[in-house]
Amino acid sequence: MLLPQEIIKQKRNGGALTEAAIQQFVRGLTDQSFSEGQTAALAMAIYLNGMSTAETVALTRAMQYSGAVMDWTEMLDGPVVDKHSTGGVGDKVSLMLAPMIAACGAYVPMIAGRGLGHTGGTIDKLEAIPGYQCQQPLDKIQQLVKQQGCVIVSQSGELAPADRRLYLIRDVTATVESIPLITASILSKKLAAGLQALTMDVKIGSGAIMKNVADASALAKSIVNTAKGAGVPTQALLTDMNQTLGATAGNALEILETLDYLTGKYREPRLHQVTLELGASMLQLGGLFNDKTSAIAALEQSLTSGKAAEIFSKMVAAQGGPADLLEKPELYLAKAKVVLDIKAPVAGYLNKADTTAIGMAVVRLGGGRAHPDQQINMAVGFSDVTALGAKVAAGDLLARVHADTVEAAEHAKAEYLAALSIEATAVTIDPVIHLVID
């Protein structure tokens, strides 16, 4: 057995770590035999020198088995599938996609995360629903998945505990952006959930972690190759995050948009396309459909029949939320004290947006965390967001800001306008789907 410093030195000097060394490192994460300083040193060595696919597979599998691994054998009559997004602004796709996939005959044990930096988190959004319990024991998760087809829960301490400790150290040592470490972090949790197939939504653009096609492709290929090396068929879609996804950004506002989407009241076109494309990938990887056209038709039917909305409602009630949320959202979802229109200062074409700046404006309104212990204001954010490519006249509505005070609303309005570019000549807007990586 090597000493921790020998493993660190090997990777520091650009060498490849053996599977045994990686397993020793992961054991050290869980039993504390790797100190915080040693863990940080190895994380930085990996950040600087990278890992091969074989190393990344070994790290992923070791972290997957650092805790409990869910087993669905002989419990379910359909495939167990999931989707994961690298995060963005207004990305509420998981909320509608889990019940839609369940309505099509697959099972979705979705373990989701909280907001990070300028990006919103699925768990934070769900906690805008009064009573909704995101933390569930593993036996309850299995029971709910079998009963209703899907759950959306936060990470259990029982699943991939090594990842939890490694991530906390990465977060404060400037090693978050390492592609092998991102890959292992995402996949260890997903594989511990017992998945048979996974679709990755790798965001690209001004509101994404990966700003360009080259970086996003590198991450997508790492995840796809590592997942396949671990025995799980995986596809990655590179999707656009050069603008807010959907018409809202902010926790309660995004829940309301989700309800409108599921019930057919309003489906923003770009959000709808991303949801259908990701869902079709999940259903095909799970073996339920042989082609995208029939998979998308099934997803559309899950919406028009009302089955997806019914499953979402049952999921909310089963996890402690109100049973009549879909019928009476105004009784339960927080409303901001101040709502202020943001109007176009000049005429022209809405060509560009600094989506990270818009996400940070939501955080500064109180809709995200500036520090880990901060309480989130569920009511704040932006609604009625105008999509890029629109031709606007001076005075046209660009969005509405929801805030706690007039002062905060005015400041957020100024930030929002500063993040936009209205120009005299129209430009080509990036497609919703940039690339598919198998």
Active site residue: 82, 163, 201, 240, which one?
82
Q: Tell me the C-alpha distance between 334 and 15, whole Å.
A: 53
Active site residue: 84, 203, 314, 402, which one?
84
Asked if 83 contacts 97 with a C-beta cutoff of 8 angstroms, the reply is yes
> Could you give the 3-state DSSP secondary structure of residue 81?
strand
Active site residue: 39, 56, 60, 85, which one?
85
Asked if 205 contacts 270 with a C-beta cutoff of 8 angstroms, the reply is no
Active site residue: 61, 114, 189, 314, which one?
189
Catalytic, 84? Answer yes
Catalytic, 190? Answer yes
Asked if 92 contacts 252 with a C-beta cutoff of 8 angstroms, the reply is no
Beta bridge partner(s), residue 199: 83, 235
Catalytic, 228? Answer no
Active site residue: 164, 190, 307, 314, which one?
190
- What is Dmax (Cα atoms) for the chain? 70
Q: Tell me the C-alpha distance between 401 and 268, whole Å.
A: 18
For 432, other C-beta atoms within 10 Å of its C-beta total: 16
Which residues, in sequence order, are CB contacts of 422 under 8 Å at separation 6+?
Answer: 344, 345, 346, 347, 348, 349, 350, 351, 392
Tell me phi and psi for residue 157, to 5 degrees: -65, -15
Active site residue: 170, 267, 307, 400, which one?
170
Active site residue: 39, 56, 66, 122, which one?
122
Catalytic, 185? Answer yes
Angle at 293 between CA 292 and CA 294, to 5 degrees: 95
Active site residue: 119, 154, 185, 386, which one?
185
Catalytic, 114? Answer no
Query: What are the residue numbers of the active site?
Result: 82-85, 122, 170, 185, 189-190
